[in-house]
Amino acid sequence: KVQAETGYAVQGYLPQRLEVRPVLIASGRGVKTKTNVEYARLVDVAPTVARLLGFEMRVARGHALTTMLEQTVQP
């Protein structure tokens, strides 16, 4: 979408719009099967991937979505 007044492209929605939610589909070693995380934020994706890779993002605004991770995945 391009804003007419600026000519610049924009994307995304305000986080306050609860009807617009991103989708995250994860699969592979360390990820539980058939797990549904009811609410997650975009800032939670990087800490979750970091945890899967075996390290911790301590200064990230989000947190690892541990409910979708196997117990054996440790930072």
Please list, in sequence order, all residues whose beta carbon lies within 8 angstroms of the beta carbon of residue 40, skipping any fewer than 6 positions away: 24, 65
pLDDT greater than 90 at residue 69 = yes
Residue 39 has what pLDDT?
A: 81
Residue 58 has what pLDDT?
A: 87
52 vs 27: CA distance, rounded Å: 11
pLDDT tens-digit map of 8-61: 555 666 666 666 666 788 899 999 999 888 888 888 889 999 999 999 898 888
| Local structure of residue 51 (DSSP, 8 states) | H
Enumerate the H helices of the chain as residue ranges: 45-53
Residue 60 has what pLDDT?
A: 87
Residue 43 has what pLDDT?
A: 86
2 vs 37: CA distance, rounded Å: 33
Residue 25 has what pLDDT?
A: 86
